[in-house]
Amino acid sequence: MIITAKVHKFGDDINTDDIIAAKYLDSQDPEFLGSKCMENIDSSFSSRVSKGDVIVGGRNFGCGSSREHAPWAIKGLGISFVIAESFARIFYRNCINIGLPILVCKDASKIENGQTVNVDIDKGIIEVLETGDKYYCDKFPDFVKEIVNKGGLINWLKKGV
Amino acid sequence: MGLNIVEKILLSHSAKKQLEDFVYAKVDFVFSNDITGPLAVQEFEKAGFPKVFNRNKISFVCDHFTPARDLKTANNVKLLKNFSSKYGIVNFFDIDKCGIEHTFLPEQGFFKPGDLIIGADSHTCTHGALGVASFGVGSTDLAAAIYSGKCWFKVPEVIKFIYKGKLNKWVSAKDLILYTISDIGVDGAIYQVMEFSGPVISKMNMDGRFTMCNMGVEAGAKAAIIEPDQETFNFLKTTPLLKGKINKSSFPKLCSDKDAKYCRVIEYDVSKIEPFVSAPHLPSNGKPVTKFKGVKVDQVVIGSCTNGRLSDLEVAAKILKGKKVKSNVRTIIFPGSYKVYRQALDKGFIQIFIDSGCMVSPPTCGPCLGGHMGILAEGEVAVATTNRNFIGRMGSPKSFVYLSSPAVAAATAVKGQITHPNNIK
């Protein structure tokens, strides 16, 4: 599957308080959470996102708390997937578990804000349309790939491990 | 090649004879709070799971927005209460019975060395202090484990930290961990386990060990762990659930093999470490306290799952005894649990706090995450014994949080600016 999407760029160590502030954690509604996404660091972010856009982060994206509200906020906002140089561990597994596509790309920092990318999710190749540059993503380990392919942890479990 | 302590625990909980890169392992206990719990319950019900794996091995501890901040948070507590009652879950704890999950659960004796536990809270790494493989997870992980009693794990690499030398006066576990995180960075142990060891750790009491392990996640760690020893055993003997039921032979000796594999070994001479403070907006922005001379504060917060145990309150009381906190510095003390609160009352610490002009709050996570009970206004500065100082963590995105030990926080409350405890006469 190939997706064409506009890039919203963030730096290193974007934490889960940045992604969704704790005061909103009384909600479990992805759409509401999405409307508050990144509010502490970029108050107009949610209003600039169009459905299908991508977030590109630097190192350690999603560090901090275990709140699954963070990937749900990103998903609820309509972001199609997140690319980063590296992900914090609990955020990474939360994305896998809820079926929010993520890609680990060591060249993520070379992608710029506002660029448009073609992403071949199966092959893990990102092409920047403006420059023609191609970047390659890490492959998921087989174990994780199986959960991703089933659409998340609950489906993986229900289909019998 | 031998195994380290975490590998041993993972292997003993998996169906395999040898560890592979990933394991699908049985868990001994799963727990959650009033933030991550409702989302887990929503996923559990959406999935249509018919039952829970073991009604005695699941817990909901209501600690984050409690005592309920407003109607929505009250409803979330009620949702967990109803779910627990529907499935016969025994260990549902409302605020009147518990405290902060990472203080309350271990002090009750829910965990013992060699256990594999998961909690839907990032500071679940705290319990590694008991020789437990204790991993923070998300709500969907929790929902799946409430049903299946299992969780998937990538087998992590382990970094061994060795602390040697003589601790300087006023240098505590908190200073060591802030120093360590500042040394390796907020992603210095990403996906890895931090094993704390060496003569300084052997001599450290359980309260300090919990503090060290609690902040492992602030370096990106999957877990933190300390080999259980006599100190661990002495602590477990005092817990209501294990009291009288354990003796020294209850647990097989649990330690890393001599030839266990570590991805890094890092040694620190603690005699070179001064009381340490981490500046906004990352826990890794740490420097010796003396570098922050003259930084004025509006609020001091002493407590949390990091530093809300009896020894933490004891050191704060020692500094505050007979003193007044600076006028216009809100000083909020929040004990980690009712047991800690009661002990602090018996020892006279609470009276010292109140006489010195502090506000004593019920046990709650409230101010640490900007939930309630101590929110910062725009432009305000706080010194807190909590664990994170991210942008907006304690309130306004334009407020500032400095992380410190209870001793530095108490000294700062007296002077109204960041202060080395030596300067309180």
Helix H segments across B92-229? 101-108, 139-148, 173-184, 199-203, 206-214
Q: What is the pLDDT of residue B210?
A: 98
| B contacts of A154 (beta carbons < 8 Å) | 43, 46-47, 140, 143-144
Are residues B242 and B208 part of one domain?
A: yes
CA dihedral A16, A19, A24, A29 (to 10 degrees): -110
Are residues B29 and B156 part of one domain?
A: yes
What average pLDDT does the segment A63-72 reach? Answer: 97
Are residues B245 and B350 part of one domain?
A: no
Please, how many CA atoms are within 13 Å of residue B3, restricted to the half-sphere of its CB? 14
Are residues B291 and B227 part of one domain?
A: no
Contact A72, A95 (CB under 8 A): no
Q: Do B47 and A158 touch (CB under 8 A)?
A: yes
Q: Coil, helix or strand for B400?
A: strand
Query: Among B201, B236, B268, where does a domain finish?
Result: B268
Q: What is the pLDDT of residue B62?
A: 98
**Is it true that the peptide bond before A8 is cis, omega within 30 degrees of 0?**
no
CATH number at residue B26: 3.30.499.10
As for the ipTM of the complex, it is 0.94
Q: Is the dihedral of CA B87, B90, B93, B97 positive or negative?
A: positive
- Quick: pLDDT tens for B126-138: 999 999 999 999 9
Are residues B347 and B245 part of one domain?
A: no
Low-confidence ranges of chain B (pLDDT < 70): 252
Query: Among B218, B241, B268, where does a domain finish?
Result: B268
Are residues B302 and B264 part of one domain?
A: no
Q: Coil, helix or strand for B105?
A: helix
- Residue range of the domain that includes A91: 2-158
Are residues B238 and B216 part of one domain?
A: yes
Q: What is the pLDDT of residue A121?
A: 84
Does the structure show a pLDDT above 90 at A122? no
Total domains present in chain B: 2
Total domains present in chain A: 1
Q: Which of B94, B136, B139, B399 is nearest to A33 (CA)?
A: B139
Are residues B202 and B322 part of one domain?
A: no
Does the structure show a pLDDT above 80 at A160? no
Q: Coil, helix or strand for B402?
A: strand
Out of B73, B140, B191, closest to residue A94 by CB = B140
Q: Which residues are CB-contacts of B290 (< 8 A; sequence separation ≥ 6)?
A: B274, B420
Are residues B328 and B291 part of one domain?
A: yes
Residues pairing with B151 in the sheet: B25
CA distance, residue B121 to nearest chain A CA (Å):
5
Q: Which residues are CB-contacts of B168 (< 8 A; sequence separation ≥ 6)?
A: B270, B271, B273, B274, B275
| A contacts of B69 (beta carbons < 8 Å) | 26
CATH number at residue A98: 3.20.19.10
> Number of Cβ pairs closer than 8 Å across A and B?
133
| B contacts of A145 (beta carbons < 8 Å) | none
- Quick: pLDDT tens for B219-261: 999 999 999 999 999 999 999 999 988 877 777 678 899 999 9
Are residues B312 and B263 part of one domain?
A: no
Are residues B320 and B217 part of one domain?
A: no
Q: Do B36 and A157 touch (CB under 8 A)?
A: no
Out of B144, B152, B393, closest to residue A143 by CB = B152
- Residue range of the domain that includes B104: 5-250+258-268
Are residues B312 and B231 part of one domain?
A: no
pLDDT band at A41 (very low <50, low <70, confident <90, very high): very high
Q: What is the pLDDT of residue A161?
A: 61
CA distances from B77 to A77, A161, B71, B158 (A): 27, 32, 10, 37
